[in-house]
């Protein structure tokens, strides 16, 4: 596989041509290459948990057309129901489900019970304490309904909890905890900008603090001084360095941690894997323009018997940034990359001022690396590059990374473009990805919906959507639209339910731009919500009047 040309250090409008060249070479590459499945098996092959009819079989569904409706639009034969929406009570004490539902994930403890986690990324209309209370995340008991067999959140459970930006106490772990770079802090208050995430191999939830600068700014971005947007009052001012971390939430003990060894930047999410010799690996993207793609490798091996004791692996290891030009991983370590030592960085400083360290170390600036996921069969790493471009050409891409010899512990890799966005491709601004039936990619988009310019993705495709892109077979790399969201919304975190008969999706910030009233309609306030999509089962459900969903 060919290496791709160097992208410009800055991916703004002035350097768009270079970025296009970067992606353009990849497109040729993608067409010429066919990735052989099963060449890399660091991740176990997922088995079908249910023998029921899959939610969709690649391209068997009828594609949804361009819509500008204030509605969730699905192919004929499907329905949806709203499971949780902003403001719903999720605890007997009155705790509320927060705003802007983004990432969702579940962890099952047994055949009947588990946990649901949902990130609350931000809010466009709340202020001050109300704003900080409504961001963070919700952790809710999940139970299998004995009658329907469906998994649903139990909103009455005393176990349910909220992590928020206002008063949740969070322990720092790793090299920067208690360090000078953090003024000696071992504990911080609150989590904000919670975007994507993961479930750890030991069954806890991870949540990435992405646009933390919206709240308290960021003076450690080498590309620009990021000023805060929310205008929080003096009594709610905080040290920006307490944010921009990868957060871990333990639903059973209710402990919350920030892992400083995983670096501080605009964390989108994390994808866990293992090296061939059994060490823990986490791949991560920094969702700002011209920022890096990372992986962390633990020093010691994962021990399944140690359960949550494996958490310590994330405090002792090496963080690497990708050099996609030369296909190598650069260690962000003062001993292994001497320029960092010369510039005065110790390990703690690298953890806190990661973006600055990456500049010195030579990490490749990429076009907004967002969601990162490991293909369950092949072990390839899929990375959304969500570069903005409102012209007529390419608008975002999905990159595939193959580690050398199929080992997540390798320090060399190859990469190519799996799908190049654009009008013809039917894809623009890919943001979140997940693996569906037959390991087809489920891709959600996030392009501009507030006064979008002419000849933009909004004009081409209508509202933001959910696309299916097979990763193998005759339709590999082709795009088909499965779902279109309501006005103003982006769709987040497409996830098959535990029994794989439902597709769970978050509808984030519907009504953005002052238009739209989803899901309650009329003149109601629009609300972000989690929905469950399923196939219609019988003739009654398939009547025309029942086809448009709940």
**Residue 320 pairs with which residues in a beta bridge?**
295, 331
CB 287, min distance to ligand FEO, A: 4
CB 87, min distance to ligand FEO, A: 21
Which member of 226, 446, 502, 512 binds Ca ion (CB under 5 A)?
446
Dihedral sign (CA 36, 38, 40, 46) = positive
In the complex with ligand FEO, the residue whose CB is nearer, 140 or 372, is 372
Dihedral sign (CA 400, 244, 158, 97) = negative
Binding residue count for ligand FEO, defined by CB under 6 A: 7
Which does residue 210 touch among ligand FEO, Ca ion, none (CB within 5 to 8 A, set by kind)?
A: ligand FEO
CB 402, min distance to Ca ion, A: 24
Among the residue ranges 132-140, 236-244, 430-438, 536-544, the one whose residues contact Ca ion (CB under 5 A): 430-438
Q: What is the DSSP string of 121-132?
A: ---SS--HHHHH
Which string of x and - marks every residue 190-209 that binds ligand FEO (by CB under 6 A)? -----x--------------
Q: Within positions 103 to 122, which residues make up the interface with ligand FEO, using CB under 6 A?
A: 121
| Binding of ligand FEO by 268 (CB under 6 A) | yes
Round to whole Å and give the CA distance between 26 and 415.
9
| Binding of ligand FEO by 373 (CB under 6 A) | no
In degrees and rounded to multiples of 5, residue 28 shows phi and psi of -60, -45
In the complex with ligand FEO, the residue whose CB is nearer, 179 or 508, is 508
| Binding of Ca ion by 502 (CB under 5 A) | no
Question: What stretches of 188-342 show up as alpha helix (H) in DSSP?
Answer: 213-216, 338-342
Each as own residue / partner, the long-range contacts of residues 447-450 (CB below 8 Å, 24 or more positions apart, any chain) are 447/395, 448/388, 448/390, 449/487, 449/488, 449/489, 449/490, 449/512, 449/513, 450/488, 450/512, 450/513
Which member of 210, 414, 502, 512 binds ligand FEO (CB under 6 A)?
210
Q: Smallest Cα–Cα separation from 161: which of 172, 169, 151, 152?
A: 169
DSSP reduced 3-state for 45: coil
Which does residue 333 touch among ligand FEO, Ca ion, none (CB within 5 to 8 A, set by kind)?
A: none
Q: Are 24 and 473 in contact (CB under 8 A)?
A: no
Which does residue 121 touch among ligand FEO, Ca ion, none (CB within 5 to 8 A, set by kind)?
A: ligand FEO
Which member of 389, 431, 502, 512 binds Ca ion (CB under 5 A)?
431
Which does residue 407 touch among Ca ion, ligand FEO, none (CB within 5 to 8 A, set by kind)?
A: none
In the bound state, the residue with its beta carbon closest to ligand FEO is 195
Helix (H) or strand (E) holding 134: helix 128-134
CB 431, min distance to Ca ion, A: 4
Buried b (16+ CB within 10 A) or exposed e, 47-86: eeeeeeebbbebeebeebeebeebbbbbbeebbbebbbbb
Which member of 99, 134, 349, 370 binds ligand FEO (CB under 6 A)?
370
Which member of 58, 88, 250, 431 binds ligand FEO (CB under 6 A)?
431
CB 71, min distance to Ca ion, A: 21
Round to whole Å and give the CA distance between 146 and 361.
55
Round to whole Å and give the CA distance between 459 and 396.
16
Query: Which residues of the shown chain bind Ca ion in the complex (CB under 5 A)?
Result: 195, 431, 446
Query: Which residues of the shown chain bind ligand FEO in the complex (CB under 6 A)?
Result: 121, 195, 210, 268, 287, 370, 431
């Amino acid at each position: 596989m060919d290496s791709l040309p160097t992208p410009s250090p800055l991916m703004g409008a002035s350097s768009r041509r270079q970025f296009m060249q970067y992606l353009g070479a990849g497109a040729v590459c993608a067409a010429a290459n066919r990735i052989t499945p099963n060449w890399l098996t660091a991740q176990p092959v997922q088995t079908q948990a249910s023998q029921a009819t899959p939610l969709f079989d690649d391209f068997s569904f009828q594609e949804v057309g361009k819509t500008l409706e204030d509605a969730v639009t699905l192919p004929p034969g499907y329905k949806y129901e709203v499971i949780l929406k902003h403001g719903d009570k999720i605890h007997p004490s009155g705790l509320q489900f927060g705003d802007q539902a983004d990432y969702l994930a579940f962890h099952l403890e047994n055949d009947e019970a588990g946990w649901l986690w949902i990130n609350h990324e931000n809010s466009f209309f709340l202020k001050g304490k109300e704003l900080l209370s409504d961001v963070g995340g919700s952790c809710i008991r999940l139970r299998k309904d004995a009658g329907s067999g469906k998994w649903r959140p139990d909103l009455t459970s005393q176990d349910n909890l909220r992590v928020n930006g206002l008063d949740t106490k969070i322990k720092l772990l790793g090299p920067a905890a208690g360090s000078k770079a953090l003024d000696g802090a071992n504990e911080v208050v609150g989590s904000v900008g919670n975007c994507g995430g993961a479930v750890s191999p030991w069954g806890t939830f991870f949540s990435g603090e992405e646009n933390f600068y919206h709240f308290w700014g960021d003076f450690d971005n080498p590309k620009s001084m990021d000023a805060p947007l929310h205008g929080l009052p003096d009594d709610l001012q905080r040290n920006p360095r307490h944010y921009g971390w990868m957060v871990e939430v333990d639903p059973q003990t209710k402990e919350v941690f920030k892992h400083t060894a995983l670096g501080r930047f605009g964390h989108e999410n994390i994808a866990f894997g293992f090296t061939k010799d059994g060490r823990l690996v986490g791949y991560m993207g920094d969702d700002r323009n011209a920022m890096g793609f990372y992986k962390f490798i633990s020093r010691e091996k994962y021990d399944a018997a140690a359960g949550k004791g494996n958490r310590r692996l994330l405090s002792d290891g090496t963080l690497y940034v990708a050099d996609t030009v030369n296909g190598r991983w650069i260690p962000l370590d003062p001993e292994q990359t001497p320029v960092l030592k010369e510039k005065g960085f110790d390990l703690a400083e690298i953890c806190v001022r990661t973006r600055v360290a990456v500049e010195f170390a030579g990490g490749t600036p990429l076009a907004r690396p967002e969601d990162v996921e490991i293909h369950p069969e092949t072990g390839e790493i899929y990375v959304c590059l969500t570069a903005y471009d409102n012209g007529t050409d390419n608008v975002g891409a999905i990159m595939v990374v193959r580690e050398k010899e199929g080992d997540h512990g390798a320090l060399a890799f190859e990469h190519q473009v799996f799908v190049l966005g654009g009008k013809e491709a039917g894809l623009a601004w890919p943001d979140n990805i997940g693996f569906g039936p037959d390991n087809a990619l489920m891709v959600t988009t996030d392009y501009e919906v507030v006064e979008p310019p002419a000849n933009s993705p909004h004009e081409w495709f209508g509202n933001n959507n959910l696309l299916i892109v097979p990763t193998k077979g005759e339709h590999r790399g082709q795009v088909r639209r499965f779902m279109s969201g309501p006005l103003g919304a982006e769709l987040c975190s497409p996830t098959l339910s535990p029994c794989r008969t439902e597709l769970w999706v978050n509808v984030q910030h519907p009504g953005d731009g002052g238009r739209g009233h989803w899901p309650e309609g009329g003149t109601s306030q629009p609300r972000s919500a989690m929905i469950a999509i399923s196939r219609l089962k019988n003739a009654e459900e398939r009547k025309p009047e029942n086809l448009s969903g709940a």
